Amino acid sequence: MREAKLWEALGGGKVQCRLCNHFCRIDDGERGRCGVRENQAGTLLTLVYDRVAAANLDPVEKKPLYHFLPGTQTFSFGTPGCNFSCSFCQNASLSQPPRAGGRIAGHPATPESLLAAALECGAASISYTYSEPTVFFELVQDTAQLAHEKGLKNILVSNGFMSRLCLDELAGLVDAANIDLKAFTEEFYRERCGGKLAPVLENLSRIRALGWWLEVTTLLIPGLNDSDGELRDIAGFIARELGPDTPWHVSRFHPQYRLQDLPPTPLASLERAAAAGSAAGLRYVYVGNVPGNDHGHTFCPSCGQVVIRRLGFAVTALEVKDGRCARCGEVIAGVGLG
């Protein structure tokens, strides 16, 4: 344990965490909603600065990032804890136990040891992922600083609910992000995630202004966030506020955690979402969790040529030269595309 950052004393032994948009007011001996920040005698501590519960070498496409250093490997890690309580969480065994007061699992780690592991395996970047990186902000910040010093890029895979203060603290350290835009109604965020939509939308716009490479993911859940109107709203927001070059990943839902009674997302719903993205003017729309579909490739928005061909998470062909379509010369948006 070590003292957390981004908090303030309120008097009487109570503190307020300033890390995310819950702005938890925490009594002595209690934890915030994430379950990994604890008030001890008027000082807010992070319980996960040295606790890594998952670490792997992944294709960067698995984050998913399709327009950022394609074909490279990223060293990915995460700690326990999350500031959301999504009923459909795909990593519930990692993210949710601390919220219920459970044991803080994981193995000892330091920013130095994590950087060393990334360098040893030849990664081009480090990804802060698996759970919610906002809740292990201090570890992200220190590791990201070391990574930049050694020439590695930093990637944030997040629900986008961090505070403005947290986002600004990471401004010069993060190079790319994939942010979940889980739905487009406050009701969904309140009832299904234990959060709010408005701060996520604000942060998405702020991330674009910061200059990070940004991609957006929506897990399409049957009957909950897949109506034609909601798909139009999400696609329209991305095109209008984030720009038509922002890739949108529409991902297939599989029964998870507390939503075991729903079926997987029908392919027809994913196709509707892809069509909504195209109708809104988005140039790069992808369908995830459906192996073998054509929506996993990157097409030139001008001539229609496949410029990045993928098989699963593997890049099998890259027809981009100096960031342009090798066939017609159209600029293909992204970073490190050849």
HSE-CB for 98 with a 13 A CA cutoff: 30
Pair (61, 41) in one structural domain: no
User: What DSSP character marks residue 239?
Assistant: I
DSSP-based three-state secondary structure for 218:
strand
Query: Which residue, chain included where needed, has tokens 């990070």?
Result: 212
Pair (103, 55) in one structural domain: yes
Q: What's the domain count of the chain?
A: 3
Pair (205, 305) in one structural domain: no
CATH number of the domain enclosing 121? 3.20.20.70
**How many other CB atoms are there within 10 angstroms of residue 96's CB atom?**
21
Considering the entire predicted model, what is its pTM? 0.97
Pair (94, 128) in one structural domain: yes
Angle between helical axes of 267-279 and 228-237 (0-180°, round to 10): 40
Q: What's the CA gap between 238 and 216, in Å, rounded?
A: 8
- Domain that residue 178 falls in: 51-294
Torsion, CA 80, CA 83, CA 85, CA 86, rounded to 10: -90
| Contact indicator for 156, 140 with CB cutoff of 8 Å | yes
Pair (334, 287) in one structural domain: no
Pair (216, 137) in one structural domain: yes
| Contact indicator for 148, 129 with CB cutoff of 8 Å | no
Q: What's the CA gap between 192 and 180, in Å, rounded?
A: 14
Pair (283, 318) in one structural domain: no
Distances (CA, A) of 287 to 96, 102, 159, 275: 27, 35, 19, 11
Pair (276, 160) in one structural domain: yes
Pair (10, 124) in one structural domain: no
- What's the confidence (pLDDT) of residue 326? 96
Q: In what order do the strands lie in the sheet with 43-46?
A: 2-3, 43-46, 37-40
Pair (172, 195) in one structural domain: yes
- What's the confidence (pLDDT) of residue 100? 85
pLDDT mean by block of 10 residues, the chain; 338 residues: 96 97 98 97 97 97 98 98 95 90 90 98 98 98 98 98 98 98 98 98 98 98 97 98 98 93 95 97 96 90 97 95 96 96
- What's the confidence (pLDDT) of residue 101? 84
Pair (36, 154) in one structural domain: no
Pair (31, 171) in one structural domain: no
Q: What's the CA gap between 155 and 172, in Å, rounded?
A: 12
